[in-house]
Amino acid sequence: MDKKPNVLIVSLDDRWGKYREELKRCKNEFSEEAVHDLRVATRRLVAVMDILRMLDPHPRVQKVRRALKNQLDSLDELRDTQVMLVEVSEAMANFPDLKPFEEYLQGRERKLLRRARKEINALQISELRKRIEKSHVSLQENANGRGWTAHLLSAVDQAYVRTMQAFGQIEESQPASIHRFRVMFKKFRYMVEIVNPVLRGYPETYLEQMHDYQSRMGDIQDAVVFLNALAEYAEETGAPTTLVEVRDSFERHRHELITKFTDRMEEIKVFWRAAPKQKFSWEKKDESVHRSSRHRSAGGNTRIRRRQPAPADRQGEEENAQDRTGSEKPGSGN
């Protein structure tokens, strides 16, 4: 497996290039889709830095990661607002009382879009470039020795351990515990995509299963964000009684989503090895083929605003692809 010690260098170069491409496009053609794609590219670059800081804990790596994470955080409220607008548009036929709430969200979106455009246009990446170039050089100097792949997989092992710790703390009655797990799983998932080229026999279907697994948690978080915003709006306007039926409906929907996730939450155990010295599930000859977890709901809204995890990034197979592999498909994740 040490025949491809440069997998992290390839990931760093590709994702840094993709980030710069999407940032340039967002500055030149500011739009909801452009902001969306920039977020995806940023998250994928953060995933590389997450692995890199485990292998090379230099302060510059943490500084790059922090700068990128701050950029993501600054766009969170905009993304949440746009997701809620999709929910409102879908629910309007059954709940016409949501019209004032929709107008409230539209006003928030306009304000957040103006702020996002200003912040993105002001972004300067000269310092990021210098630090990433130094990280590239450092990787070239250290990524050729024996055992490099083992170190790389060890970083993913550590991420998986932290993910499983969060998994063990999930309480069905506490959606926040699912959200904390989702954050950890997202980091783990992106790391698996990076190291995938050095994993012998890693089933391609697992990448899609992880996408769907994260998507189910994203749906829960969308419902939580919507209910919180609805409560905030009702308190501000002093008209909570007209929204009781809406709130009850979305609370039932949230409960259904939680049940849908928890019924299949054990799937995470197939995506990685339980411990560093153990075999991966696909290496166990006596293990039955794992059933695909792809059960997408039909009839979903196809607009870009719907929250959705980025599709699997098969970098090892499509390193030279010219399409926007980081773009998220419409469907349900931040």
Strand partners, 171: 174
DSSP states of 312-334: P--TTT-TT--S-TTPPPS----
What is the structure's pLDDT at 302?
35
* Owner of token pair 């259904």: 256
What is the structure's pLDDT at 217?
97
What is the structure's pLDDT at 281?
83
What is the structure's pLDDT at 310?
63
Q: How far apart are CA 242 and CA 99, in angstroms?
A: 11
> Who has greater pLDDT, 300 or 82?
82
What is the structure's pLDDT at 301?
40
What is the structure's pLDDT at 242?
66
Residue 3 has pLDDT above 50, yes or no: no
CA atoms within 13 A on the CB side of 61: 18
Catalogue all structural domains in the chain, each as residue range(s) with its CATH number: 7-273 (1.40.20.10)
What is the structure's pLDDT at 308?
56
199-238: pLDDT as tens digits:
888 898 999 999 999 999 999 999 999 999 998 898 888 7
The alpha-helical segments, DSSP class H, found in the chain are 7-28, 32-55, 59-74, 76-91, 99-122, 126-142, 148-168, 175-195, 204-237, 244-262
What is the structure's pLDDT at 54?
86
Q: How many residues does the chain have?
A: 334
CB 41 within 8 A of CB 22: yes
Give whole-number Cα distances, 250 to 75, 209, 223, 247, in Å: 25, 26, 7, 5
CA dihedral 61→65→67→71, nearest 10 degrees, is 160
What is the structure's pLDDT at 241?
65
Secondary structure (3-state) at 174: strand
CA atoms within 13 A on the CB side of 306: 16
47-103: pLDDT as tens digits:
999 999 888 888 999 999 999 999 999 999 999 999 999 999 999 888 988 999 999
154-201: pLDDT as tens digits:
999 999 999 999 999 999 999 999 999 999 999 999 999 999 988 888
Residue 320 has pLDDT above 60, yes or no: no
Average pLDDT over residues 231-257: 85
Copy the structure tokens of residue 75.
């766009």
Secondary structure (3-state) at 171: strand
What is the structure's pLDDT at 5?
46
Average pLDDT over residues 228-249: 83
Residue 258 has pLDDT above 50, yes or no: yes
Q: Residue 298's pLDDT band (boundaries 50, 70, 90)? A: very low
Q: Residue 273's pLDDT band (boundaries 50, 70, 90)? A: very high
Average pLDDT over residues 98-127: 94
Copy the structure tokens of residue 72.
């993501």
121-153: pLDDT as tens digits:
999 999 999 999 999 998 888 766 667 788 889
CB 193 within 8 A of CB 254: no
What is the structure's pLDDT at 243?
80
Q: Name the percent of the chain lying above pLDDT 90.
A: 63
Residue 30 has pLDDT above 50, yes or no: yes
Residue 248 has pLDDT above 60, yes or no: yes
What is the structure's pLDDT at 321?
34
Q: How far apart are CA 272 and CA 274, in angstroms?
A: 7
84: exposed, middle or buried (C-beta count within 10 Å: 0-12, 13-18, 19+)? Answer: buried
78-87: pLDDT as tens digits:
999 999 999 9
